[in-house]
Structure 1
Amino acid sequence: MKTTKRSWIIRIAFVLVLVLVAVLMLRIGRGHTVYFDNRALDKDGQSVAAPYKITVYVNGEQISKLYDKERCMVTNIGDSLELTVEVMQQKGGSETTETYKLTLPHSIDSVIINLPAYMAGLPEEAYLEEFIPAPSADLDDEEAPNTEDDMGLGDI
């Protein structure tokens, strides 16, 4: 089998297209599910109180209004997002607006960000954690499958 010059050019072009697609996908990034918490933090001697209300905007779009002990979720493509928060410390108080540029870790798909701790300037270990869903309670309540040898015919 003789390999022609034209077939080598096609092979090289195909490999270059694959490399270009890989670089493009790396540049675009992967998707992250980000949960924002408005909960008081008391961890490792660091204590931060939760404000009365936080209005969360991600990349210019309003996601949610979080009151004390509430959580919202957003799906983000890429490893960074622009977070704008309007914070009301007490009911009926004035709102302050702040904008942050947040970089998400590549190694975690779903992250929880504690907004009061993040806005207080605490280190990443204090405000960021991986979201691990709890196992469903329905799995424990299911009946065991029928293992009898009657092939499902019962008492015929």
Structure 2
Amino acid sequence: MGISGSKRVKTTLSNSPEFHSACDSAYEESLSLAQHAFAGVRPYQLLSAAAHIHRNLSSFPLIIRWVPSPPSQSQVDSALRVITSRVTAADILGPEEFEEWATEVFTETVVGNARKAMASRIPLGIAGIAGIGAVTRSGQNLIGAAIGVYAVGVATSVFLSLS
């Protein structure tokens, strides 16, 4: 997965008009809820903003497949730490920083859930292949090759679904 998977997801989100629209809507809602008391979005508003973005992207294929529920508080905070390490005014996020944060949080959520899917699918498949190999008394080389092909197939399937 690594860097390539993250870049693939980040590019998909960054090039999506639906994602930009959802970010703009969440940003405006956050400002409205704070009655425009701040020049941007405060960190305490980010969890509800993430839920708002998730709700607005309910028909976006990448979100449907890999983000069944809104990002958690820890995912929101982790993305905020990444963004604030690059920005000087960390206590208020302007529109650009907000969209950068949203891209980061949803990229990491998608990639994290894809990793979990691979971590659960590969061992189950390997156990199944090994079990069939034991029952049929196939050669170890054949079983090893089948396991390798299966693992590569699962990894490729997950990677290709990240766009």
Which one has the bigger strand percentage? 1
The reply to whether TM is greater than 0.5 is no
Which one has the bigger helix percentage? 2
Larger Rg belongs to: 1
Q: TM-score, normalised by structure 2?
A: 0.26
Q: TM-score, normalised by structure 1?
A: 0.27
